[in-house]
Amino acid sequence: MDARNDMLRLLNSRRDGFSLEQPFYTDPDYFKLDMELIWYRDWLFIGHDCELPKPGSFITVQIGDYPVVLVRDQQGKINAFHNSCRHRGSRVCNTDKGTAAKLVCPYHQWTYELDGRLLFARQMADGFDKSQFSLKPVACESVAGYIFICLAKEPADFAPMRAMIEPYLKPHRLGEAKVAFESTIVEKGNWKLVWENNRECYHCAGNHPELCKTFPEAPTVTGVQGADSDPEMLAHWAKCEAAGLPSKFRIDPAGQYRATRARLLRDAVSYTMTGKRAVKKNLSDSVSADRIGTLMHYHYPTTWNHILIDHAVTFRVLPISATETAVTTKWLVHKDAVEGVDYDLAELTHVWTETNDQDRRIVEENALGILSPAYEPGPYSELHEGGVIQFVDWYARFIGPRLAEGGRPALRSVA
Amino acid sequence: MTDLGLYRHLDQMAPWNDRLQVLEVIGVSDEAPDVKTFTFRSDNQTWFRYKPGQFVTLELPAPDGPLMRTYTLSSSPSRPFSIAVTVKAQAGSIGTRWMFDHLKPGSHVKAYGPSGDFSLHSHPAAKYLFISAGSGVTPMMSMLRWLNDCAPWTDVGFVNCARRAEEIIFRKELELLGGHMPGLSLGFMIEERSSREGWYGHMGRIDAIRLPLLAPDFREREIFCCGPDPFMRAVRGMLDASGFDMTKYHQESFAAPAVEEIPAPFAAPAQDGVAVPVEAATPIRFALSDVDAECVAGQTVLQTARSSGVRIPAACEFGLCGTCKVKKVSGAVEMSHNGGILDHEIDDGFILACCSKPLSALEIEA
């Protein structure tokens, strides 16, 4: 059975408003197609500019089969390269992060400039042309402190995403913040289950006692519809926009990214057990308005985010296999905020550390249940799970045509 | 006694042919400490047809059998009646030492050539940079003398690096040409001060910072480089790293770069029968290997490690790749790297062994 045609057939015959068929969550061949057609084609959030503080700072990341290194060069520009030596393919940078004067392959010391040019290869034959063996570049864009890469040969235009998202993020100055803490957990579930769980708060009341102290469960907050008829949301946007913070719900026509600002409960200002600040210092020197709540923005398939008055929590999703997904969380604070003085690390990270672990268990239980031969797609709640329906629709809309264009003629035409 | 045959015109003579004629020494002069110029004419009234920058191979009749030695010509073909080589007797050199001891005016030497492709005639350009170290100045001098005779308005940067001021070969002549050639800019760099000559110019080793000081517009120039292999490697590395178009870079090497000899501590040269005190060697302790070594003047930490049996991994050996990065526990070094180490690594006490020389006793984690 050709997985490509199989997958296309199931997409074309899927019931709107229902979860996907079992192989989308479990089948290694479907996972390969997800990688090839979504992850190796779309823009992916990797990390923050402030994680590359100076020339020579690098971070590495593994996207499926692709090892990639991001490095800030002598001119201050952030470049992304395939982390594979042009000599015999060895990984050039083999640590998660670091600082290097040059990128030197540990295998035979081929030495690359921070802009990818091969500078030195020991004792190669006469006539060896170094200029032909630069590190291969990966498309890389940075917007308001967020670094995105794209592995595609012809990346989609990044400009519309930049144009929409930059005004929301800019005041928060994440480009000059610092990462106070980061954690990576592996959830034993398909990446789409991680997202489906994230896109609704229908599960919050029963699972997230800590988060629910401050975060509203209303679908108008998490979801993608109804916010503009929710008077609380409208009032909050008006207040924040008056303070110079773009806030209204906006979503790109293709549904891949969205931004909106929401209130927290009562007079809470931060994700803590008390609702009070976790950090004495504001995250941004340009944002000081009272009770701005949380700026939420997501970009499929890699990131969702919460940006508050005193800190930001950013999330990165990376698939490992059909049934494993790594979720990296970073807590960002003002670069001059001092641990132990301006914030207590345990207090800063408590709510989302617990929430992440609760979500991990939920996703893993969901994955175990889907493995049952008795599993069949079930109906989403239109009231609470509009966000999930929107995510699954986005997935089908993105992968469907790509399946159709690359494979053998599909058995049916796309509906 | 004057040879009437001397007074001929070019068109009355045939060009020199290495299969038919040998060379006759007509002059030996001192240029600098341990550096002499030997001037030759043909033993049979010929003129010399060659390009400035080319070399000849001399067959030196040493007692243990002939030695073949290749030298760049320092003379210019614009003065075709004689040729000259300017040679430095290094510690331990055999051929050059034999020439110093035996070649006098009237001696005959068999020679082959001239030949080679290292010449501005092979790479015409609007602007040149001649960059050399030590006796690598000879092909540059040949080319500069030719330019002075035939195209004195040429825009040429001339950079020469030497260990000490008095060891700069042709210094006086270069200063003289500087006055004759409006487009000539001279730059000298020495490594250490000496008690013999004052110095107010650049000091240190050429690196990515000093090169633009000596030749600000080096990117626009056709570059010719000649000197010891480590020197040429360093220049090549820094040009390459600066994005220089390497098709405009030419270097003189007679063979594949040989394995660099580790200089042994040298005995003091006797001068006028008076022994000069040996320069004090600097102690280096390699802590992990439990080895105490002596670094003689001019040696790098890496060379000292090698000569004392301590292995420090290294690859490029011109301060670019960082493979030889080691921790300096104590002491001070002078380091001229090419970007292979970060400032904060230096602040943390790391050095690149390949391009660091001790300024005091050192303890190294190696």
pLDDT in tens, A384-394: 899 999 999 99
CB contact under 8 A, A101 and B322: yes
Rounded mean pLDDT, B343-366: 92
Q: Is A113 on the interface with B (CB under 8 A)?
A: yes
Q: For the segment B83-126, what is each residue's pLDDT rounded down to a tens digit?
A: 999 988 877 778 888 889 888 998 888 888 888 788 998 888 99
Q: Which helix (H) or strand (E) holds B356?
A: strand B356-358
pLDDT tens for each residue of A244-278:
999 999 999 999 999 999 999 988 999 999 999 99
Which chain A residues have a beta carbon less than 8 Å from that of B342? 56, 99-101
Q: Is the pLDDT reported for residue A412 higher than 70?
A: no
Q: Percentage of residues in chain A with pLDDT exceeding 90?
A: 86
pLDDT of residue A407: 53
Q: Where are the domains of chain B?
A: 10-115, 120-252, 282-365
pLDDT digits (tens, 9 = 90+) for A5-14: 999 999 999 9
Contact status of B241 with chain A (Cβ, < 8 Å): yes
Instruction: Give pLDDT tens digits for B319-349.
Output: 888 889 999 999 999 998 888 898 889 999 9
Q: pLDDT at residue A409 above 90?
A: no
For residue B321, the chain A residues in CB contact (below 8 A) are 102, 104, 109, 111, 119-120
Please, what is the Cα angle at A348 between A342 and A353, to 5 degrees? 165
The pLDDT of residue B4: 54
Among B316, B317, B324, B338, the residue to mutate for chain A (most A Cβ within 10 A):
B316
Provide the shortest C-alpha distance from residue B314 to chain A (in Å).
Answer: 9
- Residue B5 has a pLDDT of 60
Any idea which fold B10-115 has? Elongation Factor Tu (Ef-tu); domain 3 (2.40.30)
Relative orientation angle of helices A386-406 and A191-198, to the nearest 10 degrees: 150
- Candidates B239, B244, B321, partner chain A, best to mutate (most A CBs within 10 A): B321
Q: Do β-strands B282-286 and B362-365 pair in parallel, antiparallel, or remain unpaired?
A: parallel
Q: Residue B345 and residue A102: Cβ atoms within 8 Å?
A: no
Contact B24, B42 (CB under 8 A): yes
pLDDT at A348: 97
- pLDDT-derived band at A219 (thresholds 50, 70, 90) equals confident
Range A3-16 burial, b when 16+ CB lie within 10 A, else e: bbbbbbbbbbebee
Distance CA(A300)–CA(A282), nearest Å, equals 29
pLDDT for position B268: 35
Q: Residue A378 class from Cβ within 10 Å (0-12 exposed, 13-18 middle, 19+ buried)?
A: exposed
Please tell me whether residue A351 adopts helix, strand or coil conformation: helix
Residue B65 clears pLDDT 80, i.e. is over it? no
- pLDDT at A411 (0 to 100): 44
Mean pLDDT of chain A: 93
A220: enclosing H helix or E strand: helix A219-222
Mean pLDDT for the stretch of residues B2-16: 73
The stretch A278-292 carries a mean pLDDT of: 94
Architecture of the structural domain at B120-252: 3-Layer(aba) Sandwich (3.40)
What number does CATH give the domain B282-365?
3.10.20.30
- Rounded Cα–Cα distance for residues B125 and B220 (Å): 10
Test B316 with A109 for CB contact under 8 angstroms.
yes
Task: Nearest chain B residue to A99 by CA: give it.
Answer: B342
Judge whether B242 is closer than 8 Å to chain A, CB to CB. no
Average pLDDT over residues A104-130: 91
The Cβ-side half-sphere exposure at A134, using a 13 Å CA radius, reads: 14
Q: Which of A56, A111, A117 lies closest to B321 in CB terms?
A: A111
pLDDT at B262 over 50: no
pLDDT of A262: 94
Q: What is the average pLDDT value for chain B, to the nearest integer? A: 83
Q: Residue B270's pLDDT is what?
A: 36
- Selecting from A99, A101, A130 the residue whose C-beta is nearest the C-beta of B340 gives A101
Residues 6+ apart with CB under 8 A from A275: A213, A214, A264, A265, A266, A267, A268, A269
Q: Tokens for A356, please give them.
A: 């992440």
Give residue-wise pLDDT tens across range A142-198: 999 999 999 999 999 999 999 999 999 999 999 999 999 999 999 999 999 999 999
Say yes or no to pLDDT of B274 above 70: no
Between residues B364 and B281, which one has the greater pLDDT? B364
- Residue-level pLDDT at A225: 82
Contact A120 B315 (CB under 8 A): yes
A97 and A59 Cβ atoms separated by less than 8 Å: yes
**Cβ contact (<8 Å) for B344 and A99?**
yes
> What pLDDT, on the 0 to 100 scale, is given for residue B6?
66
CA B193 to CA B213: how far, in whole Å?
A: 20
A119/B322 touch (CB, cutoff 8 Å), yes or no: no
Is B322's CB within 8 Å of A104's CB? yes
Q: What is the mean pLDDT of the segment spanning A237-243?
A: 94
Which pLDDT does position B110 carry in this prediction? 86
What does the angle CA A120 – CA B314 – CA B346 come to, to the nearest 5 degrees?
90
Q: Check CB contact under 8 Å for B320 and A111.
A: yes
| Residues of chain B neighbouring A111 (CB-CB closer than 8 A) | 315-316, 320-322, 340
Which chain A residues are closer than 8 Å to B341 by Cβ? 101
The least confident of A103-107, B12-16, B134-138 is B12-16
Chain A residues 80-99 with a CB less than 8 Å from chain B: 99
Phi, psi of A303 (to 5 degrees): -145, 140
Neighbouring residues of B34: CB distance < 8 A, sequence distance ≥ 6: B88, B89, B90, B269
List domains and CATH numbers for chain A: 43-155 (2.102.10.10), 159-371 (3.90.380.10)
Q: Is the pLDDT of residue B271 over 50?
A: no
Q: What is the mean pLDDT of residues B75-79?
A: 94
Long-range Cβ pairs for the range B333-337 (8 Å, 24+): B333/B301, B333/B357, B333/B358, B333/B359, B333/B362, B334/B204, B334/B359, B336/B204, B336/B205, B336/B206, B336/B207, B336/B210, B337/B207
Cβ–Cβ < 8 Å for B222, B121: no
A101: left (phi over 0), alpha (psi -120 to 50) or beta: alpha
- Residue B280's pLDDT is what? 61
Reported as a pLDDT band with limits 50, 70 and 90, residue B256 is very low
B277 has a pLDDT exceeding 80 = no
Confidence at B257, pLDDT banded by 50, 70, 90: very low
pLDDT band for position B301 (cuts 50, 70, 90): very high
The tokens for B43 are 């033993």
